[in-house]
Structure 1
Amino acid sequence: MFFIPGFILSIVTFPGVIVHEFAHQLFCRLFRTSVLDVCYFRVGNPSGYVVHEQPGSQSHQIWIGLGPFFINTVIGALIALPSAIPVIQFGNATLIDYILIWLGVSIAMHSFPSTGDAKNIWSSIKDKETSWLMKIIVSPIVGLIYLCSIGSVVWLDFIYGVAVATGIPYLLVNLLA
């Protein structure tokens, strides 16, 4: 594997950063948590952020932190779906097809919550008001977030993005055909 500086990678995959931050904001709205500041994309670290007030419950904080995983995965797969089929099944794709696949991959590869998200989720888990069931379910997820963060050094986020943008459409075609 080779190294590409994070700011260049975020510029090339900026749609994923935007959708990631939008997902945090969407989950804030769903759980009636006021958003104080939003930056959907910038060149820097972090590439984007959502600053919000303290959610009403610890489970809301967990959902706000995990929101991008669900939203980015679904949107990345849906955007790539109509273009992945001609590329995978028929091998005759247009420029638009490749643009939609790039868009799907760039969105899906930003599905993983950031380490900042993991810290927020972890602080919610440690809270004494968080139920034991929630602690048991979510604790391994926090560990997985950190592993995925480490895995991004070996392009795990990119591999996930390609799998979502091409693998899910491939499975759907084979299941429905």
Structure 2
Amino acid sequence: MFIPGIFIAAVTFPGVIVHEFAHQLFCRLCGVAIFEVKYFQMDNPVGYVKHEAVRNPVHQLLISTGPFIINTLLALLIAFPAAIPVFLFDEGTLLDYMLLYLGMSIAMHAFPSTGDATIMWHTIWRGENVPVWLKIITVPITVLIYLGALGSRVWLDLIYGMGVAFGLPILIVKHFA
């Protein structure tokens, strides 16, 4: 079943907002000037952060992968307290289900875009005086981003969102129980 990406983005808009916020946060942490931020719009792209060219390749890696880090951690933090009563005790409240939706929608937008991967790749592989270790770790990260984009055609982003919001809390609780 085909569902347009703009519809998915509208339903899961909190994840888009957090994704763009994560890019913005890492720009600020790395001292990269920001020209424009669009947290959400009903257009393609659904959100973006325009910033100055990044001179430090490590900063570009952080800015490009920031949404994966921030969205994943925030989604887990939001969904964890709601997943326990819902999935372990079958006693979820409306608030619990809303938190699970919020966590899942945020986790669904954790994957960096192919645009993020392309900019990261060009900055690191075409930059001057880039350490070899950074080039080495950029290869699998770039491949994973492109695989994530390809996998989103078969709902990998939804599976990831459910895994972070529903699966991880259950695994954590069962591991420590």
TM-score (norm 1): 0.96
CA distance in 1 between counterparts of 2:33 and 2:96 reads: 38
Instruction: Say whether residues 1:150 and 2:150 are aligned partners.
Output: yes
CA distance in 2 between counterparts of 1:150 and 1:136 reads: 22
CA distance in 2 between counterparts of 1:76 and 1:42 reads: 21
Q: Point out 4+ residue stretches in structure 1 off by more than 3 angstroms.
A: none
Instruction: Say whether residues 1:134 and 2:134 are aligned partners.
Output: yes
How far 1:125 sits from its partner (Å)? 2.3
Who is 1:68 aligned against? 67
Residue aligned with 2:49, SS: strand
Residue identity (%): 55
Unmatched runs of 5 consecutive residues or more in structure 2 = none
CA distance in 2 between counterparts of 1:11 and 1:61 reads: 28
How far 1:97 sits from its partner (Å)? 1.0
Residue aligned with 1:47, SS: coil
CA RMSD, Structure 1 to Structure 2 (Å)? 0.9
Amino acid at match of 1:138: T
CA distance in 2 between counterparts of 1:111 and 1:155 reads: 13
The 5-angstrom pairing of residues 22-171 of structure 1 reads: 22-127=21-126, 128-171=128-171
CA distance in 2 between counterparts of 1:129 and 1:59 reads: 12
Between Structure 1 and Structure 2, how many residues are aligned? 176
Amino acid at match of 1:72: N
Determine if contact 1:104/1:161 at 8 Å carries over to the other structure.
yes
How far 1:14 sits from its partner (Å)? 0.1
Determine if contact 1:31/1:55 at 8 Å carries over to the other structure.
no
Residue aligned with 1:41, SS: coil
CA distance in 2 between counterparts of 1:55 and 1:135 reads: 16
